[in-house]
Amino acid sequence: MSTTPIPHDYHLHTHFSVDSQMTLDQLCDSALALGIAEVCPTEHADFVPEDEGFGFYDPDGHLAALDRVRERYDGRLTVRAGVEIGEAHRYPEHVAPLTGRYPFDFVIGSLHWVGPECVMTPEYFDGKTSEQAYGAYFDELLALVRSGDFDVVGHLDVPKRYAADEPGGFNAECHEERIRAVLRTCVERGIGIEINTGTARRPVGVPSPGIEVLRWYRELGGEILTVGSDGHRPQHVGYRLDHALELASAAGFSHLTAFEAREPRFIPIG
């Protein structure tokens, strides 16, 4: 196991997200216990009317709670303000006021829906071949990264979380052309990617994305990389981020990226 200090956890959810009951204090205490220096709660902001989180996010309450937590943990832990926006390319009229009004440090852009279908469920694969399911996802992801307002694209190959029983599993090389198009657009627009270890908690057992995609991103000139547990419970905070750092190094990265007021800052690995 790596002994490299974990500099941050940049994908976390508390009770300000519809799918979590974790408090900010529980998050911070868990990070401190693991020696993590910086955390960024990235609460869900969802605008698809069929999404369970539609209308749930309270940015005023979230930012006010972060101010209280920052005061409580001052000098012990850096707490950034983050948000995970779903389908940012489809709802610019909602995204622009949110990111324009509130002082976020970090914004994740994620894709949870392809057209009217939620990809965060095994049922997404019903009646589709692997090529059809992943092809539609990566085509929509390309549309997201072409126009969305965010800093890092979240859990880049997330449908594989829910397809552990699909014959042959997920093979990035089968979708290389589409994935490279997404990564190339990210590099051109200055958008980063994350290593999301929340996927590794599922039966698939590996993070999003895996080593192949990380290497492609680096080869294409990608430099902006964060790591996040996608933690929704105290015991999830920091999950396998030591492994994420090992993957980053193996893919050719010498640094991760931290954000303040949405400005990137590079920090060495190790």
pLDDT in tens, 26-73: 999 999 999 999 999 999 999 999 999 999 999 999 999 999 999 999
What the block records as the tokens of 238 is 């920091």
Distance of CA 7 to the CA centre of its chain: 16
pLDDT band at 175 (very low <50, low <70, confident <90, very high): very high
CA 108-5-13 angle, to 5 degrees, is 30
CATH no. for 8-268: 3.20.20.140
- The predicted model scores a pTM of 0.96
Map out the domains of the chain as residue ranges.
Answer: 8-268
pLDDT in tens, 217-239: 999 999 999 999 999 999 999 99
Cα separation of 157 and 206, whole Å? 11
What are the backbone angles phi and psi of residue 241, rounded to the nearest 5°? Answer: -70, -20
Report the relative pairing of strands 225-228 and 255-260 from DSSP bridges: unpaired
pLDDT of residue 118 exceeding 50, the answer is yes
